[in-house]
């Protein structure tokens, strides 16, 4: 039976690499996206991956989409919580709107999506859940109290979920990427990006495919005894 995988934020950046890698491993992948219909349609056609648009920060939209996926596929076996945004500013300059938006998209979406699949995973005695956090959730970052708070919270969420669901054949793990060569990182001012790379022991940006490889392992049968763990992919930038 083909396993069904949902990847949130699955049509761009790290999410796109995850979606493509899981498809190459013979999972049926459903890639979620929130905006840029043209880019999502192109991604779908180029990779033969189903894409569905919904806002992961909106519980009702998540419920509607997840219910439709169950209706069409009968089961959901893998959830990769990858969607995330930044709205950077030092706390003394941060607006409430920018605080709340990051909390809603990066953290509340984790509850929305995971709570909607966990019961059937428990019934089926199988599930693989992977949360994409960040090195800045481990070490903090200037101007990212909102982002770092959400990415740090994913670690506690995942460990608690692992304790609750391990006996039902469900694993919950976290990956904390460092600076990965994506559009988001490419948008950083050149001189600032150069100074960041100089602080990375590997002296380079990571590649999205390197994160995708770890996801592919964690959702495989080979990783059934890996649970409640946090994996850093950051070139040695932060060692914890």
* 217 counts as catalytic: no
State how far the Cα of 229 lies from the Cα of 172, in Å rounded to an integer.
8
The answer to whether the beta carbons of residues 122 and 165 sit under 8 Å apart is: yes
The one catalytic residue in 59, 70, 147, 225 is: 147
pLDDT tens readout for residues 35-53: 999 999 999 999 999 999 9
Please tell me the total number of residues recorded for the chain in this structure.
Answer: 240
pLDDT in tens, 17-40: 999 999 999 999 999 999 999 999
Question: What is the rounded distance in angstroms from the CA atom of residue 171 to the CA atom of residue 225?
Answer: 8
Residue in the structure block whose two tokens are 């043209």: 38
Q: Are 135 and 237 in contact (CB under 8 A)?
A: yes
Pairing of strands 4-7, 230-233: unpaired
Q: Is pLDDT above 80 for 240? A: no
């Amino acid at each position: 039976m083909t396993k069904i995988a949902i990847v949130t934020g699955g049509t761009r950046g790290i999410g796109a690499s995850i979606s493509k890698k899981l498809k190459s491993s013979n999972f049926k992948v459903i890639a979620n996206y929130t905006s840029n219909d043209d880019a999502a349609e192109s991604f779908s056609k180029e990779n033969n991956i189903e894409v569905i648009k919904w806002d992961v920060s909106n519980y009702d939209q998540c419920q509607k989409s997840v219910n439709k996926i169950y209706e069409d596929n009968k089961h959901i076996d893998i959830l990769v919580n990858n969607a995330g945004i930044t709205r950077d500013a030092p706390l003394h300059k941060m607006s409430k709107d920018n605080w709340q938006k990051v909390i809603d998209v990066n953290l509340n979406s984790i509850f929305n999506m995971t709570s909607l699949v966990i019961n059937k995973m428990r019934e089926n005695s199988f599930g693989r859940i992977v949360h994409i956090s960040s090195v800045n959730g481990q070490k903090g970052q200037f101007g990212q109290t909102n982002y770092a708070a959400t990415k740090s919270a994913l670690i506690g969420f995942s460990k608690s979920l692992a304790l609750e669901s391990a006996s039902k054949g469900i694993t919950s793990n976290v990956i904390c990427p460092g600076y990965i060569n994506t559009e988001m990182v490419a948008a950083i001012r050149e001189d600032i990006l150069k100074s960041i790379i100089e602080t990375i022991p590997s002296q380079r940006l990571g590649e999205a495919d390197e994160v995708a490889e770890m996801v592919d392992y964690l959702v495989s049968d080979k990783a059934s005894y890996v649970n409640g763990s946090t994996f850093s992919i950051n070139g040695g930038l932060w060692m914890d």
